Structure 1
Amino acid sequence: MRLDKLISSELEYFEPILKRQKEATQEAREAWRKETVAQRLERVSLETYDLCKGTVSQGLFKGLQLNRDAWWGKSDLGAQCLGLYEKEILDFISARAPFDTFLDIGAADGYYAVGLLHAKKTRKAICFEISEEGQRAINENWQRNEKPGELEVHGEATKKNIASVASNLTDKTLVLIDIEGFEFQLLSKKVIAALGKCTVIIEIHNWIDGFENKYPDLLKNLDRFFDIAIISPSERNTQSIELLRSYTDDNRLLVSSERRPCLMRFLHLTPKKDR
């Protein structure tokens, strides 16, 4: 490379880094030193959201607009904007989409439901979210993204209403279950049978009482209708994201953190062909 081009490219590389250094006042530095990890994570997440102008910049949901005043958690916004949030699930869905219907049990603020509708990876999304604030957030996010596809938003998921909805689903349905441990109560033999034709993803939450007994029982019941596989965790390569090159090492890694208490388990369920 010619020297003048090298100098020009190097100055361009360092431009955002130098800009950040100049903007970091002594007062700001003192405040950062007193932050808890949770406070720093939220600050970095929101800064990343602002740099992305509130829009997912890459991945399956590219172009999806997110609400800065998130209901479920502002600390996830940065990772969502970068396409890193629950990357293993996004990669899994991307490899198997499109679907006729997406059933989202524990829909939070509608990140997946609205994202899949926006990306035209499903025609219809059916959400169950126990929080009324969450239900409002799902509708607001759908409207923010110009109401793509068809959306239904319901309240608490129960054995009765999930079995009822499942009776009308086709084998081109994706079901995502993320209900903070309530999966062990919701997924009765009847509900599992009703979902038996669908592709299902379940996040397993291990902090409930009696997990050592409840989890094997759930696996045995699921095995009657599904082939069970583990979704392997995906690496989050933050070094390759140009937007983050001015971040400190800690902050660059922190923006991809999902604040989980351990390496979580996601199950992939495929309907058995020989049952």
Structure 2
Amino acid sequence: MQHATWNAIEAYPAAMSVYRAYRRLLPPSVRTLVRWLAMPRWNVAAALVRHRAANTVLSGPFRGMHLSLTPVSSRNLLGYLLGTQEIELHDVVRRVIARGYPGIINVGAADGYYAIGLLRQMTRTKVIAFEGAHEHHAGLAQAAELNGVTSRFELRGFCRPEDLSSELAELDSPALVLADIEGGEVDMLDPVKVAGLSDVDILVETHDAFVPNCTAKLMARFTRTHVIEQIVARPRSLADFPSAIIPELSRFMPHTAVELMNERRTGTQKWLYLTAKRQPDVKAAKVATMASNRGNS
């Protein structure tokens, strides 16, 4: 469904009631037929993307990654396959890859776009992924296997602040926390609750539409311990589309090509990349302690 169509349905309670009845009463096969009849142009374009991608990312820093998307993501979030999802973060992602964090904790892994994508590019990194929605777990495990990173990937369920604190205590520095938890970041990313957050880098998707002033609260919380970079979403354009790979869409259906990259956001999306000002080298500290102990013996 196009984002504009969904917004129109959401705007009217009567339309939402009809939509819920449609979802409840009609079997999936019938709903698929209705979608094709109602929006043939959109569905032809989406089907072409899925066919050309064959469950791999077509562009961007994760190009070539094999995905195992849920049916909802495969139908509505074509940006994952196109490689344009959260294109605003591509520069940050490349910097993350270049930094080579030995350990990354991904809270809110969803379909594994970042957890698996980073593991493919960072061959010495280990990722611990938390995902509270268990319908994602099979796809995450499959994606890890398809991309050959299973040995460096650990999957957990719902993450509580104490879980994050426990995992951080086991990681060598520098480390990265990557969070996308639909507003839960205000509760989760609290150095008072989570020991170790002051010394690690953090890349977080903020959700002011769900938690008012979420971004400002996090910035104020980490301003003394981190260098803060704010990234703001921008509209997609045809220049973002991987036209060299799917030239038919950009040439004959340019407006649909742009709409396929729509990420269905509520409000203006923002992210924060927080780089810790103090990055203690845990390994160096351990070596120094061992040397000191030997000297005193």
Please list, as runs of the form range in 1=range in 2, the aligned pairs for 1:117-156 lying within 5 A after superposition: 117-120=119-122, 123-156=125-158
Matched AA of 2:104: F
**What does 1:1-275 correspond to in 2, within 5 Å?**
34-35=38-39, 44-67=45-68, 70=70, 73-75=73-75, 78-97=78-97, 98-120=100-122, 123-191=125-193, 193-208=195-210, 211-212=212-213, 215-233=215-233, 237-238=239-240, 241-247=243-249, 248-273=253-278
Q: 1:40 to 1:194 in 2, by over 3 A?
A: farther
- Whichever residue aligns with residue 222 of structure 1, its letter is F
Aligned-partner Cα distance in 2 for 1:240–1:208: 32
* Residue 43 to residue 126, structure 1, CA distance change in 2 (3 Å): farther
Q: Please tell me whether the aligned partners of residues 200 and 279 of structure 2 are also in contact (alpha carbons under 8 angstroms).
A: no
CA RMSD of aligned residues (A): 2.9
Residue 122 of structure 1 deviates from its aligned partner by 5.2
SS in structure 1 opposite 2:176?
strand
User: 1:102 & 1:230 partners in 2: Cα distance?
Assistant: 20
Q: Is the 8 A contact 1:109 1:137 kept in 2?
A: yes
Q: CA deviation at 1:32?
A: 5.9
CA distance in 2, matches of 1:77, 1:143: 22
Structure with greater helix share of residues:
2
Contact 1:117 1:149 in 2 (8 A): no
Deviations 1:51-71 (A, max 9, x none): 12222222221221122x525
Q: Which moved more, 1:133-142 or 1:146-155?
A: 146-155
CA contact (8 A) 1:171 1:199 kept: no
C-alpha distance in 2 between matches for 1:112 and 1:274:
23
After TM superposition, the score normalised by the length of structure 2 is: 0.71
Q: Is the 8 A contact 2:109 2:131 kept in 1?
A: yes
Give, as a single letter, the amino acid of the residue that structure 2 aligns with 1:272. K
Following TM superposition, by how much is the alpha carbon of 1:239 offset from its aligned partner in structure 2, in angstroms?
5.5
Identity of aligned residues (%): 25
SS of corresponding position for 1:166 = helix
Matched letter for residue 96 of structure 1: V
Which ranges of structure 1 fall in alignment gaps of 5 or more residues? 1-29
Paired positions, count: 240
- 1:239 & 1:216 partners in 2: Cα distance? 32
Question: Is contact 2:58-2:245 (8 Å) kept?
Answer: no
